[in-house]
Amino acid sequence: MPLQTALSRIPQINRIVFLIGLAGIVAGIVGINISHDPSWIKFFDNLHWTVATASAAVLAWLGRRQISGQKRFGAIWWFAAGFAGYALGQLVWDAQVALAYSKFPSPSDFFYLWLGPCLTMGLILEIRNGVRKASQVTVLLDVLSLSVASLTLVLVLYLPMRGDLDLLSMAVLVSYPVSLLIPTCIGLIMIPAMRLRFSSGFFLFLPAVAVTAWSWMHWNLMALNGLAIDGAWFNVSFSIAILLAGLAVSVWQLEHSDAPEWDRACEGFLRMLPIITIILASGAMVVAGSRPGDPDLVEWLTYAGSVLVIMLAIVRQSRLLKERDQLLATQTEALRVGKLLESFIDTVPIRVFWKDRDLNYLGCNSLFAHDAGYTRPSELIGKNDFQMVWKDQAELYRADDYRVINSGNPKISYDEPQTLPDGCKVWVRTSKVPMWSEGNNEVIGVLGIYEDITEHKTAEEDLRVAAATFETQEAILITDSDAKIMRVNPAFQEITGYSKEEVIGQNPRILQSGRHDAAFYQAMWAALRDTGKWSGEVWDKRKNGEIYPKSMTITAVYDDNQQVSNYVAVFTDISQRKQSEQEIHQLAFYDPLTQLPNRRLLMDRLQQAMAVSARSGRHGALLFLDLDHFKIINDTRGHAMGDLLLIEVARRLQTCVREGDSVARLGGDEFVVVLEELSSRQDEAATLTELVAEKIRNKLSQPYALKEYECHTTPSIGISLFHGHLESVDDLLQHADVAMYQAKAAGRNAIRFFDPQMQTALDMRADLEADLRHALEKRQFRLYYQIQVDRLHRPLGAEVLLRWAHPERGLVFPDQFIPLAEETGLIVPIGLWVLETACTQLKAWQRDALTRDLTVAVNVSARQFHQANFVAQVQRVLLESGAPPAQLKLELTESVVLENIEDTIGKMHEIKKLGVSFSMDDFGTGYSSLSQLKRLPLDQIKIDRSFVRDIAFDSNDAAIVHATIAMSQALGLNVIAEGVETEAQREFLDHHGCHAFQGYLFSKPVPLELFEEKLKTSSMG
């Protein structure tokens, strides 16, 4: 359907022109068929000729305008010129008919003859543009050979059998068919030579020109033979053919085919063409020989044409053979180049692939095939990305491919991810370009290359990390292989104080502090040479001269030849850490007050001292010191003053020992001295130790000037000798501690050596403590009552005294377990039990007239009295028992009163408000002053038995007792004496104003039943 295709592709104006021409032809045909007048038949005959040729000329020029910007401009221009000349010739013919001009050749013939040469020129230009230069000569030979053979045959068949034509007329007559048969032959040759597809333009043009040539020849043949030609059917075929030729030019387009079958068919036709032309020429000769009446010119032209055809066939064949050789050589070279190209593509260090328009793989190199998981590139052909290991990225890849194919523009050097057969993800840098067809007028696929840039990406990431790392808080210094500084970071400048301009090009030794010797740096460089790395702590110097510690790591960097290219040092200032470590060490091993070693460090040094003793065979000694009455000083003068005293004691201790000996503070007022390397003989070691202990005792016994206060204290020193590891550290400390307590028991300010008897006593004390802890819950305690009487021996009351009825030890007296109870804190619950029992008894005595007025004196220990809830305990016991408060008397010792005197006075006042009275026990044995005594809300003073015992013959004791009685009377206090055992003692006391007594003269402490029985007996006597 060439006509329908042409009509659908041409613009509207072209279509209108074509329809006008077609309408003219139809009008002419209709007019010819309905007219009987020869003149009207001629008119309608000329009408369709004129309209058809004019429309063809207009269509050709419109086609020229449509594609004027393309390369085919030259060919279309010639086509348009030929149709315009032909249309002009038809107008001249119409004028000749009107003027009855009938000569031959006429002026119109010369315009008619423009068409053939112009078409020929245009087609030759197409050959030049569409056929490679090496083949153009061959094509022209084929055109010439076919044209001569065809013309020779046409001349024989269609030239008139008359010889009365002049040469000009014969030339014009021959030119008509020749001028159009030549472009027809050219067109026939162009089809196989250029591998043209069957398109509407060219394949409409070629038969239209052939029909036009045939119509011309038939018209000439009938005209020369005197036959009627007006209104003949071939006139109409001429008009239709010329109009279709003009239409073909308006939609002119040459399309090439790459189909292998068509290529083989075209090549076979061209190879057979010489034989075809010879057959045609031979046929012309046969026809000419069978017609003896033809003019000699025709016969001569026939033979000449046949000979020319044969000669051209020979030349063409020889050229064909030459071209074959060239083709073989070209194919060989192409094969070699192809193999070289294939080898090149296969060996380049990048991946190469190419796809068709449907994005199916046409080929690739081995690297690409390996990435896809295949062994050979041929295994990929025909597959697409969805069938590859990177199917997850297929959409991404295909989108890029379509973008390149549809735009015709390459996409260069972009990064994208790719999955490998092992599942690993890598980064590739890809470039894709369109693949064009041979004429560069159509994209037939896409060619791509890429390289694996995973290492490059990793390196970039490493560089980014390195850049960020370089800005870290750690100082970084980079040198070359000769240790010249190349680069430092801001942290380096901040730590060292040097700017980068000051250190670049310098050696790092400018930072040295001088604290490390040459051997230190030699070991550092040896480690760098052997292992490529060194780490450690270094003391360096800042720009301002300050020496500081730093933690540093130096790493050697190697090039591809394993030669050191750089050194990288990373360090941090550890001054703060060192200071913290020192503080932690100080806190962990030293007493923060005295700066002496603490218990932990003492244990370590004692272990070392014992190890040294074991190696040397010399004895060592451990001195355990405790300050006498330190608690009183600390409480009366305050903790700040007590701390000053401890500091001064520590200083004096350090002046009393040798440099290799150790002084430590265990805590409170306890100190330990370790003496090493004394003597190999125990007696000499003991003598040397005693000399040092005496020196310490004398030194610590000297007055202490603490601010405005002069303080006095003495040490109690316990000593334990050691020799090697015969004893453990804990045992050694325990032995010295036992000896120290023995010194205190000896009256304080004394020196005692440890002996086994001390340990036995200590063990017994431990057993006693274990039993004491269960005595209260086992109801083993008993209260004994010792009567208190007036000068007439009348009962005033009783002091309750605690006894321990041990199931194995028997009756245990207070002096054996009360100190232990004080130390362990058991005195608090025991004292509460005593108070509760005494008050319960007071309540019971209220029912008997004999005991109703008796008072009960209860001793209160210091620890019990200073309990925060002691007042509340007394109040609760009174309420629960119902005892009369006025008959309860609490006895306090001077030590209880002097310990935190303000707290003592406050509690005494609160208890006094309850109606309870107070008596000061053991008065005169402590250090209380009159100023303190008068502040206390006391009711009674009890003279200690130590003064009463020798009162009859010791003037000092007598004076003290007399003074105490006088003072009590002056203060308005009652006075009672304890320990009265003789009548002489009673009389002395009574004579000097003391009228209340307690002692064996009247009764020993006895159980309650015996006490009440004695009361009844004395009342009856």
Instruction: List, for residues 625-664, the tens digit of each pLDDT value.
Output: 999 888 888 888 888 888 899 999 999 999 998 888 999 9
- pLDDT per position as a tens digit, 191-202: 777 777 776 567
Separation between Cα atoms, residue 841 and residue 1015, nearest integer Å: 15
Same domain, 835 and 981: yes
24-38, 171-185, 860-874: range with highest mean pLDDT: 860-874
pLDDT band at 858 (very low <50, low <70, confident <90, very high): very high
Residue 342 included in any domain: no
pLDDT band at 19 (very low <50, low <70, confident <90, very high): confident
The residue among 916, 974, 906, 979 whose CA lies nearest residue 947 is: 979
Determine which helix (DSSP H) or strand (DSSP E) holds 99, and give its type and residue range. Answer: none
Residue 698 CB coordination number (10 Å): 12
Q: Which residue has the higher pLDDT, 1019 or 731?
A: 731
Amino acid in position 314: I
What's the CATH number where 736 sits? 3.30.70.270
What's the CATH number where 844 sits? 3.20.20.450
Q: What is the pLDDT of residue 699?
A: 92
Q: What is the pLDDT of residue 209?
A: 82
- pLDDT per position as a tens digit, 667-686: 888 999 999 988 888 878 88
Q: What is the pLDDT of residue 878?
A: 94
Q: What is the pLDDT of residue 913?
A: 94
The fraction of the chain above a pLDDT of 90, given in percent, is: 21
Separation between Cα atoms, residue 186 and residue 140, nearest integer Å: 8
Lowest-pLDDT range, 389-398, 760-769, 981-990? 760-769
Same domain, 116 and 229: yes
- pLDDT per position as a tens digit, 762-790: 567 778 888 888 888 899 999 999 999 99
Q: What is the pLDDT of residue 786?
A: 95
525-534, 779-788, 818-827: range with highest mean pLDDT: 779-788
Same domain, 441 and 497: no
pLDDT band at 1021 (very low <50, low <70, confident <90, very high): low
Same domain, 535 and 626: no
Same domain, 214 and 353: no
Distances (CA, A) of 317 to 277, 321, 589, 772, 782: 12, 6, 116, 142, 154
The fraction of the chain above a pLDDT of 70, given in percent, is: 84
Domain coverage including residue 416? 348-458
Helix axes 296-347, 133-158, angle to 10 degrees: 160
Q: What is the pLDDT of residue 161?
A: 47
Same domain, 71 and 198: yes
Q: Which residue has the higher pLDDT, 15 or 886?
A: 886
Q: What is the pLDDT of residue 2?
A: 45
Average pLDDT estimate for 90-116: 77
Residue 290 included in any domain: no
Average pLDDT estimate for 608-619: 90
Average pLDDT estimate for 176-204: 75
> Is the pLDDT assigned to residue 553 strictly greater than 80?
yes
Residue 273 included in any domain: no
- pLDDT per position as a tens digit, 899-957: 778 888 999 999 999 999 999 887 766 555 566 677 889 999 999 888 899 898 888 88
Q: Which residue has the higher pLDDT, 13 or 674?
A: 674
- pLDDT per position as a tens digit, 376-390: 888 888 889 888 888
Of 754, 776, 808, the residue at which a domain comes to its end is 754
> Is the pLDDT assigned to residue 70 strictly greater than 70?
no
The residue among 165, 47, 159 whose CA lies nearest residue 105 is: 165
Q: What is the pLDDT of residue 641?
A: 87
Terminal-to-terminal C-alpha distance of the chain: 169
Count the residues in the chain: 1021
> Is the pLDDT assigned to residue 250 strictly greater than 60?
yes
Same domain, 629 and 603: yes
Sheet of strand 361-364: strand arrangement: 361-364, 351-356, 443-452, 425-436, 411-419
Q: What is the pLDDT of residue 927?
A: 52
Of 458, 487, 505, the residue at which a domain comes to its end is 458
Q: What is the pLDDT of residue 995?
A: 93
Same domain, 706 and 679: yes
Strands (E), 924-968: 940-943
The residue among 178, 128, 175, 173 whose CA lies nearest residue 149 is: 178
Distances (CA, A) of 925 to 107, 919, 946, 960, 964: 173, 15, 9, 11, 12
Residue 876 included in any domain: yes
> Is the pLDDT assigned to residue 68 strictly greater than 50?
no
291-305, 816-830, 978-992: range with highest mean pLDDT: 978-992
Q: Look up residue 779 and give its two tokens.
A: 């109801």
Average pLDDT estimate for 958-965: 90
Separation between Cα atoms, residue 211 and residue 180, nearest integer Å: 9
Sequence-distant (≥ 6) Cβ neighbours of residue 686 within 8 angstroms = 621, 719, 721, 753
- Average pLDDT across the chain, whole number: 82
- pLDDT per position as a tens digit, 145-176: 766 766 776 666 655 444 455 666 666 666 77
Same domain, 728 and 866: no
Q: 3-class SS at 350?
A: coil
Lowest-pLDDT range, 104-113, 522-531, 593-602, 748-757? 104-113
Average pLDDT estimate for 489-510: 88
Q: What angle do CA 750, 752, 756 make, to 5 degrees?
A: 155
Q: 3-class SS at 636?
A: helix
Residue 599 included in any domain: yes
Rg of the chain taking only CA atoms, in angstroms:
70
Sign of CA dihedral 9, 14, 16, 17: negative
Same domain, 702 and 844: no
Phi/psi-derived region of residue 498, left when phi > 0, alpha when psi is between -120 and 50, beta in every other case: beta
pLDDT band at 337 (very low <50, low <70, confident <90, very high): low
The residue among 423, 447, 451, 420 whose CA lies nearest residue 434 is: 447
- Look at the chain and report how many structural domains it folds into: 5
Lowest-pLDDT range, 105-119, 139-153, 573-587, 593-607? 139-153
> Is the pLDDT assigned to residue 69 strictly greater than 50?
no
Q: Residue 460: CA atoms inside 13 Å, Cβ hemisphere, count?
A: 6
Residue 773 included in any domain: no
Determine which helix (DSSP H) or strand (DSSP E) holds 861, and give its type and residue range. Answer: none
Q: Which residue has the higher pLDDT, 1007 or 500?
A: 1007
Q: Which residue has the higher pLDDT, 49 or 884?
A: 884
Q: Look up residue 893 and give its two tokens.
A: 């010792």
Q: What is the pLDDT of residue 890?
A: 94
What's the CATH number where 398 sits? 3.30.450.20
Sign of CA dihedral 964, 969, 974, 980: positive
Q: Which residue has the higher pLDDT, 300 or 650?
A: 650
Q: What is the pLDDT of residue 882?
A: 93
Same domain, 742 and 694: yes
The residue among 322, 31, 306 whose CA lies nearest residue 152 is: 306
Average pLDDT estimate for 319-338: 67
Burial 996-1014 (b: 16+ CB within 10 A, else e): bbbbebbbebbebeebbeb
Q: Which residue has the higher pLDDT, 204 or 671?
A: 671
Average pLDDT estimate for 470-488: 84
Residue 772 included in any domain: no
Average pLDDT estimate for 888-893: 92
Separation between Cα atoms, residue 1007 and residue 1004, nearest integer Å: 10
pTM: 0.38
The residue among 414, 552, 416 whose CA lies nearest residue 491 is: 552
Q: Look up residue 341 and give its two tokens.
A: 């190209």
Q: What is the pLDDT of residue 911?
A: 93
CA torsion 673→679→683→688, rounded to 10°? -50
Same domain, 59 and 95: yes
Residue 791 included in any domain: no
Q: What is the pLDDT of residue 3?
A: 46
Amino acid in position 690: E
Contact assessment for residue 246 and residue 213, using Cβ atoms and an 8 Å cutoff: no
